[in-house]
Amino acid sequence: MPKTRAYSISAEDIASEKERVGGDLDRFDVARVIKLDDLELPEPGPRDVHLKILAASGEHNVDHAALADTINITESRGGKIYPGNSAVGEVLAVGGEVTKVAAGDVVLIHCNGEPDEFGYPKRIWAYDMPDSIGWYAEEAVVGDWQVVKAPLDCGLNLWEIAALPLRAPTAYHLWRRALGIYRVKVSREQKAVLNVLSFGGGVGELFLMLARAEGHDAWFCSGSPERRAALEQQGIAGIDQKQFNRFASKDDVKAFSKEVKKLTGGEGMHLVCDMLRGPVWPAGFAVASRQGVNVSAGWQLSQVIEYNSTIASVKQVTLDHTHYETLVGVDAATELYGKVFKPTVHREIYAFEDLPRAFEEMHQNVQTGIPIVRVAKDMPDAVSALVS
């Protein structure tokens, strides 16, 4: 196979940047660590698919890999990784045993890495899955189980579609678990309409779109006025996170809790989607209703949380950690593109060469929506009407 241009992250570059900033991650420049490289693709096997990458979405797991802020995943993977686990691609060729897609098809690529016996991934592709190569590249080779035909007639443009391959299944998984756990405790007859809260981010906004689609009341707590405005157009109320100083103190959390009680008639939030750690964790825990459920995917900022278990027990609050969806769940989430999932995309579509800057701006939290990178300059006719 010929070489392709692909972005990589090396443990050596991470160490160099940490030395430059004296270990201060607030000064860490992610763009100095994510570098354009040459990659020799593996020879496709009988169940493999050779892709031209059209567009990719910026994902927070790449920020973790570049910062090595919780674990140094690059070092544990042998010193270098090729990230990127959410993309849209055009099929160039398929192996002899592939039947689900053909050359010319446009597909989504998801990040389920090593499914267990129940279909849930133990590892994530292009992150902690050994030997996995990601899709921040001009071309890629993947197994046929990793691709899903893109719903090009769903009403979304190409950039909106590219925002969803990782986020939509994650939000779908979070929602069905949160609602399912709550219904174990409280029947629909006892409480039909729920109060649902999420804090910032692409997964959180999709979680709330699912809540609204099923008739529940939803609030999006974000510091971005652009993202709050976009969700308000879909019937999801906004709460300005900056109004509460991003929950920097106990007084800020108390003020937020008081506001939530006012918004919900004293009930609190039945379902909360957050990170179960970092600055939003105390706020999400504080506003949980009786029988409430707090769900989280990922582990940004920390792998450890602390909470008052007595309060959780008395209020019957359930905390649930999730990872990513099953392959069946990925297919189900894809059916909701454009019908339920209408993501907020950052106003600039980044060029392939600007991918490192896209991640530095994600790290700085200055983007107005989900960052999308246009990888291919020449797009196939199948998506020409979806590119603006």
- Residue-wise over 285-315: b if at least 16 C-beta within 10 A, else e? bbbbbebbbbbbbbbbeeeebeeeeeebeee
Contact criterion met (CB below 8 Å) for 297 and 111: no
With a CB cutoff of 8 Å and minimum separation 6, the contacts of 384 are none
Predicted confidence at residue 301, as pLDDT, reads: 58
**pLDDT tens-digit profile of 191-238?**
999 999 999 789 999 999 999 999 999 999 999 999 999 999 999 999
**pLDDT tens-digit profile of 75-95?**
999 999 999 999 999 999 999
Task: Write the DSSP assignment of 45-75 as a string of letters.
Answer: -TTEEEEEEEEEE--HHHHHHHHTSS--HHH
Residue range 293-318: mean pLDDT, rounded: 82
pTM reported for the whole predicted model: 0.94
Tokens of 309: 């278990």
Is 90 exceeded by the pLDDT of residue 360? yes
The C-alpha atoms of residue 86 and residue 146 are separated, in whole angstroms, by: 11
Q: What share of the chain is helix, strand, coil (3-state, %, to 5)?
A: 35, 25, 40
- Residue 302: pLDDT band with limits 50, 70, 90: low
The alpha carbon torsion through 208, 209, 211, 212 (nearest 10 deg) reads 120
Contact criterion met (CB below 8 Å) for 165 and 57: yes
Number of Cβ within a 10 Å radius of residue 388: 7
**pLDDT tens-digit profile of 116-145?**
999 888 888 888 889 899 999 999 999 999
Tokens of 266: 């004293």
* CATH annotation of 3-163+343-386: 3.90.180.10
CATH top-level class of 169-322: alpha beta
Q: Which helix (DSSP H) or strand (DSSP E) does residue 261 occupy?
A: helix 250-263
Contact criterion met (CB below 8 Å) for 88 and 108: yes
The alpha carbon torsion through 74, 302, 126, 332 (nearest 10 deg) reads 180
Contact criterion met (CB below 8 Å) for 363 and 340: no
Who has greater pLDDT, 246 or 98?
A: 98
The C-alpha atoms of residue 278 and residue 300 are separated, in whole angstroms, by: 7
In what order do the strands lie in the sheet containing 80-81?
Answer: 34-40, 3-10, 80-81
Contact criterion met (CB below 8 Å) for 44 and 50: yes
Is 80 exceeded by the pLDDT of residue 2? no
Q: What is the domain partition of the chain in residue ranges? A: 3-163+343-386, 169-322
Is 70 exceeded by the pLDDT of residue 300? no
Asked if the domains 3-163+343-386 and 169-322 are classified in one and the same CATH topology, the answer is: no
Pick from 356, 357, 349, 358: nearest CA to 376: 349
- Tell me whether residue 357 is exposed, middle or buried, using C-beta atoms within 10 angstroms of its C-beta: 0 to 12, 13 to 18, 19 or more: middle
Question: 128 vs 77, 81, 200, 221, CA distance in Å?
Answer: 7, 9, 25, 30
Contact criterion met (CB below 8 Å) for 351 and 373: yes
CA terminus-to-terminus distance, the chain: 33
